């Protein structure tokens, strides 16, 4: 890529100073401009954890956008567990490395306020995605409005269950801001219907086996409930055979859940789950890198505080289309084609 980028005065002086220091260290004092010319942007994308399948496509998306831009190194890193304190350490490490940009998905907001503000004070561009840290100084949150997602889950529940019945609420962990906002959106929507009663929430702590156990247990113990409203769709990430009670239930207690991932779709196709409300997983990585790159390279670039994402809903009506989409997305190249979207420019 030709070096045509214009730097503002102070940035140029800082960059030259840094470049000069580097060059001096390498014995290349006379050629600082060459070091500047080789500038590449290191953008770290930090999911809540490394193993959750919803994040694979964010990873692919980040890599794809970095490849398209050419002068970006996308760093994919996270704490090994969904733990905000560990995540705070990861962020502090990235501040020490002085990456150029960070896109953070927060396990919990409070422990991340300090490291995010510390990064911003160090001149690093920081945005949040998926789960926000609203009290930090981050300028942008890219993701669905979790409260609205909860409302959508509540509306789907009413659509399939009707306007009366007991709705059992299931979530991941009690500390995640986005899951709590989804719960609030769902319960506020359900509260509009006097015939609807809620029970819970029950937590599966994002552990697949525990989530399957909890789902089976809830269906055994509440066979007369109207619906199971799950704001973190982990129970359906494994095999159908691990959910015998869901199979036995076969749509009697309506099941409304989140995420529109490949392992979940057979549950909808076979009538075990009535609706899934998802997010743009590809965009988490692809658009986060786009937004940060624009912020890094264009000093006049602006975005609103919430850059909204699409919120797909999968039901029996469109499940085949989504199954085909995921079939295509089995490789990173296929995913790029299946979830193709234009990069978000400055607003």
Partner 1 sequence: MRRLLAELVLVPWAGVLVGLVVVAAVVSVMSPYFLTFGNILGNVALYFSWFAIAGFGEALVMIGGGLDLSVGSAMGFSGMIAALVLTAGLPLWLAILAGLAAGAFVGFVNGIAVTRLSLNPFIATLATLGIFRGISYGIVQGQAITPASNAAGTEFAALGTGALFHVPAPVIVMIVLAVLLYVALNHTPFGRHVYALGGNEGATRLLGLDVRRLKMTVYIISGLTAAIGGILLTARAGTALPDAAEGYELQVIAGVIIGGVSLAGGQGTIPGVLIGAALLGVISNGIVLAGLAGYWQQLITGLVIAAAAALDVLRQRLAYLRAA
Chain positions contacting partner 1, by CB under 8 A: 49-51, 53, 55-56, 80-81, 171, 174, 199-203, 207-209, 212-214, 216-218, 220-222, 237-242, 244, 263
Antiparallel, parallel or unpaired: β 227-230 and 164-171: parallel
Minimum CB distance to partner 1, residue 94 (Å): 18
CA dihedral 279, 285, 287, 288 (to 10 degrees): 110
Residue entry with tokens 């840290």: 133
Output the smallest distance, CB 121 to partner 1, in A.
30
DSSP 8-state code for residue 284: H
Q: What would the two tokens of residue 235 be?
A: 């129970």
Residue number with CB closer to partner 1 (216 or 288) = 216
Residues sharing a CB contact under 8 Å with residue 14, sequence separation 6 or more, in sequence order: none
Q: How far is CA 243 from CA 232, 238, 240, 266, in A?
A: 16, 9, 6, 13
Nearer to partner 1, 134 or 174 (CB): 174
Tokens representing 37 are 């010319």
> Is the Cβ of residue 94 or residue 218 nearer to partner 1 in the bound state?
218
Please tell me whether residue 78 adopts helix, strand or coil conformation: coil
Dist. CA 93–CA 114, nearest whole Å: 13
How many Å apart are CA 76 and CA 60, to the nearest integer?
A: 10
For the bound state, the minimum distance from the C-beta of residue 220 to partner 1, rounded and expressed in Å, comes to 6
Of 93 and 174, which CB lies nearer to partner 1 in the complex structure?
174
CA angle 325, 309, 133 (to 5 degrees): 130
Residue 57 CA to residue 140 CA, distance in Å, equals 21
- The tokens for 195 are 């015939």
Q: Order across the sheet with 275-277: list the strands.
A: 195-203, 164-171, 227-230, 254-258, 275-277, 313-314
CA 58 to chain centre: 7
Q: How far is the CB of 315 from partner 1 (least distance, A)?
A: 24
As given in the structure block, the two tokens for residue 144 are 């669905």
**Considering the complex, what minimum distance in angstroms separates the CB of residue 37 from partner 1?**
33
CB of 203 to partner 1, least distance (A): 4
Least Å distance, CB 248 to partner 1, is 10
For partner 1, the closer of residues 20 and 332 by Cβ is 332
**What is the Cα 306 distance to its own chain's centre?**
14
C-alpha span between 56 and 48 (Å, rounded): 12
Taking the least distance from each CB to partner 1, the nearer of 218 and 276 is: 218
Give the residue ranges of DSSP H helices in 222-331.
244-249, 265-269, 281-297, 319-328
Q: Closest separation between CB of residue 131 and partner 1, Å?
A: 18
CB of 155 to partner 1, least distance (A): 23
Inter-residue contact 229 to 186 (CB < 8 Å): yes
Nearer to partner 1, 32 or 172 (CB): 172
Rank residues 160 and 202 by Cβ distance to partner 1 and give the closer one.
202
Specify the residue, 220 or 347, whose C-beta has the smaller distance to partner 1: 220
């Amino acid at each position: 890529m030709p070096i045509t980028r214009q730097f503002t005065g102070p940035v140029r002086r800082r960059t030259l100073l840094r470049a000069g220091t580097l060059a001096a260290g390498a014995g290349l004092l006379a050629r600082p401009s060459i070091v500047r010319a080789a500038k590449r942007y290191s953008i770290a994308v930090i999911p809540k954890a490394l193993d959750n399948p919803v994040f694979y496509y964010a990873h692919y998306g980040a890599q794809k956008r970095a490849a398209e831009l050419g002068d970006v190194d996308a760093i994919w890193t996270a704490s090994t567990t969904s733990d905000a304190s560990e995540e705070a350490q990861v962020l502090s490490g990235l501040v020490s490395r002085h990456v150029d940009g960070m896109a953070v998905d927060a396990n919990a907001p409070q422990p991340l306020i300090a490291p995010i503000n510390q990064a911003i004070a160090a001149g690093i561009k920081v945005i949040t995605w998926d789960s926000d840290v609203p009290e930090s100084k981050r300028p942008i949150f890219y993701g669905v409005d979790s409260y609205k997602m909860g409302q959508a889950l509540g509306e789907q529940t009413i659509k399939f269950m009707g306007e009366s019945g007991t709705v059992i609420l299931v979530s991941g962990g009690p500390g995640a801001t986005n899951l709590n906002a989804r719960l609030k959106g769902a319960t506020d929507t359900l509260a509009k219907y006097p015939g609807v009663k809620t029970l819970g929430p029950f937590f599966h702590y994002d552990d697949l086996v525990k989530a399957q156990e909890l789902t089976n247990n809830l269906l055994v113990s509440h066979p007369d409930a109207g619906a199971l409203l799950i704001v973190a769709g982990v129970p359906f990430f494994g095999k159908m055979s691990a959910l015998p009670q869901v199979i036995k239930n076969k749509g009697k207690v309506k099941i409304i859940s989140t995420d529109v991932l490949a392992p979940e779709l057979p549950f909808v196709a076979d009538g075990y789950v009535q609706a899934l409300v998802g997010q743009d997983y590809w965009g988490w990585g692809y658009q986060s890198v786009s937004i940060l790159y624009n912020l890094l390279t264009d000093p006049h670039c602006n975005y609103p505080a919430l850059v909204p994402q699409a919120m797909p809903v999968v039901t029996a009506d469109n499940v085949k289309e989504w199954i085909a989409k995921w079939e295509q997305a089995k490789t990173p190249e296929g995913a790029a084609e299946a979830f193709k979207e234009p990069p978000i420019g400055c607003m």
